[in-house]
Structure 1
């Protein structure tokens, strides 16, 4: 057995590297899918994927050999390292097909695009997407789809164990975190994988029956359920702006991805109304209904036909709230109220345990519960008030987690916006760019990175900063920040 001395250390990197090796091998197999498509089409642009496969597969094999015989048993410290390093490594190697196949892209561009894909952000630096090879179009969709399932597993099986941002609220009753984490994660991944694949197939077939071309249906089906937002056209879903059936099918697909996947599993087993009983699901749907109603009336009184207004508003609101990032129109041009509303909606996000980014609905609900209780304390100083969420008593640990996450979320947005301003970006572009990156939404505001633009004109330094912001947002910020503390690295 080949071992390195480092791996014999109790806090060694052996288990982490071994799992990273497995992830790279799986990623390399996904690279064979667009390669097979290009081979069937007789397209000569196969070499980028061949080189990317060789590098990714080769690196995975080397890591496997270096960690041969290493027993995989992760401790909390290693879980933090693995969670962050896995997203960084997957993003880096996912960029290889674009680095090899799109020579016009800088390294910053390719990495930005892959980070945006893996984190399901949906921001893009590509211009002329229609003219990309079918292989690259498919690869962009596959990256978001793979990132989507990784996000769900992380949110359900990893973050509650790490006590990140109040996620302990969503630890399932059957979880026994005194035992090993990986068997639990594996069980969750299998169940979620079946549901995820099923919803994706339904979305793909629905798009195809509604009139999309086969490749478009396949890519958009994956990126809708993953709430990713990558489309096969520069105009995003503006390509289908005059096809309301496709837009409403997309609304359903995006909502499917934004709800807690663990509840789908419970529904299949218990056949009960657990989805509607969940407090965050009701909160998300109520928010969507109110905002869609208000903005539909806002557009209707300004002269737009009611059904068209409803369709356009519903699609774009659901897209932003679920952090998908599709757009049918430049909604910032609908009026001042619309621009302000979409900026605030950028922060919300979907439900915990879904593919959505953002702060998540439950944190706003917990914040509201704390606010109401604080007002009660001011009126009844000697009163005893129990704070509950989803029928469970909120613990001090959970409340501290929500407060800490919320603070660091907005702090990260503020610091990133300041950094982007130093790169020469105007205030609207810098602030909305920081917000959309950390919230993993996609489009920002303004002429440059708004729904009608993209991130290509930004300097490379800004793209690197935004890439870091996307990764931090997807990893719930605290998971990354804890690695920067000296205490974490002490024995």
Structure 2
């Protein structure tokens, strides 16, 4: 909370320098957040306390919820005068790097608010990386324990202490953001736009400074820079660290990275062919729009340069299923994650072998290592719970009066942390402002569920968790 308060000071300084009255809102919000944060430190202390697994579950969920609540303060009291519901929705969407928005008129929004949205996604992006490396493997959520041994190997060979790994990854994250900023600025954005879009690109968040998103700039060079930034943010940051330590081929060897690039590349080729044949675009323009929008949706970034809902009958189902794929574990990306599809595929292939050779011994592998039965069970459970949560959220949204496409795609974009949905209301040409308040609260819960890998939150509602 203290770090969040310091983050609020940045837009406060920007607004004050530009003479915008919202600097007072950010200053007061920062003071309140810092007061509570310092009070907690003084009351309970920091460091030196060992947490058990149950305490870690509680801490993770409560921390993200409390941070979202305090991060909503500037939205609630700024010049835009968002309602409490809209402010919390925008804050949750930002800190979970979802990218769904309820703000209309971004082109004329206060500069401090635009910067705060970018900062929220940037902080949420680095936060989820650290959580995926340090916390989720310990909680054994959805197969994430598969990366416990990889994290341990990296810490032994590259850097001996966990905080040094986090520090190294944060340094890489800052370096990528700086490089993306320079690239955007050189491609035609002004400095302010370049900084915000760099933060939301590397965080695969998708918040923009314009209602038209990246289409506002109408630049092929900017689009391809964004594609590179989104891909960079969707690869495992621990592998970047290993590459800096001398293992330069670690990215190329990793099966998760190969699958991500293969699935993304195949979808880009299909989308580009659709645009070339059905829409009559020349091959270069077809590749530009196809690659940008496919990578944006698959990585959960949520930028848009065109309404892909108008690309033809095949485009909608393709983009709908891409929403669920996501990037690699240990990245800023969201969704189900590539490694879970790999584990599921390996388990299914082993089952086929058993059907043909009942007495044979077949072992599923991931990254040339045997997959423990516990991991397979955990991944299968994740798919089941993900499907149930998605179905329940879709039904709940439909009961509030949303049409089928809006309800189903809103549920998908929330629980997969993507951003835009499908259809004229919540698609890439619309936003979530017109949805009823109850739908926004449900979607906020869906965003948190998806970002914290479902089990981290759902386990708090079981009797067994609280026994003893």
Whether contact under 8 Å (2:236, 2:330) holds in the other structure is yes
Asked whether 1:374 is paired with 2:351, we answer yes
Q: How far apart, in 2, do the equivalents of 1:138 and 1:227 lie? A: 16
The match for 1:327 is 304
Q: How far apart, in 1, do the equivalents of 2:151 and 2:295 lie? A: 32
Q: How far apart, in 2, do the equivalents of 1:265 and 1:70 lie? A: 25
Report deviation, 1:221. 0.3
Q: 1:159-185, CA deviations, whole angstroms, 9 ceiling, x for partnerless residues?
A: 111111001111244639xxxxxx965
Asked whether 1:255 is paired with 2:231, we answer yes
Q: 1:28-78, CA deviations, whole angstroms, 9 ceiling, x for partnerless residues?
A: 011111111112222222111012112101111222232148842211111
Q: How far apart, in 2, do the equivalents of 1:404 and 1:152 lie? A: 23
Asked whether 1:484 is paired with 2:452, we answer no
- Of the three residues 324, 339, 343, the one matched with 1:347 is 324
Asked whether 1:208 is paired with 2:185, we answer yes
Asked whether 1:54 is paired with 2:28, we answer no
Whether contact under 8 Å (2:96, 2:125) holds in the other structure is yes
- Of the three residues 290, 305, 313, the one matched with 1:336 is 313
- Of the three residues 210, 214, 220, the one matched with 1:244 is 220
Q: Secondary structure at the match of 1:36?
A: helix
Q: How far apart, in 2, do the equivalents of 1:172 and 1:76 lie? A: 18
Report deviation, 1:229. 0.4
**TM-score normalised by length of structure 1:** 0.92
- Of the three residues 163, 174, 189, the one matched with 2:140 is 163
List aligned pairs for 1:88-487, cutoff 5 A: 88-102=65-79, 104-173=81-150, 175=152, 185-241=162-218, 243-302=219-278, 303-487=280-464
Q: How far apart, in 1, do the equivalents of 2:85 and 2:269 lie? A: 40
Report deviation, 1:370. 1.3
- Structure 2 residue runs of 5 or longer lacking an equivalent are 154-159
Q: 1:377-417, CA deviations, whole angstroms, 9 ceiling, x for partnerless residues?
A: 11111111011100110001110110011111111110000
Report deviation, 1:429. 0.6
Q: How far apart, in 1, do the equivalents of 2:274 and 2:46 lie? A: 64
Whether contact under 8 Å (1:153, 1:185) holds in the other structure is no
Where does structure 1 differ by over 6 angstroms across 4 or more consecutive aligned residues? none
- Of the three residues 74, 77, 91, the one matched with 2:54 is 77
CA RMSD of aligned residues (A): 1.4
The match for 1:21 is none
Q: 1:409-443, CA deviations, whole angstroms, 9 ceiling, x for partnerless residues?
A: 11111000011011100111111100110000000
**TM-score normalised by length of structure 2:** 0.96
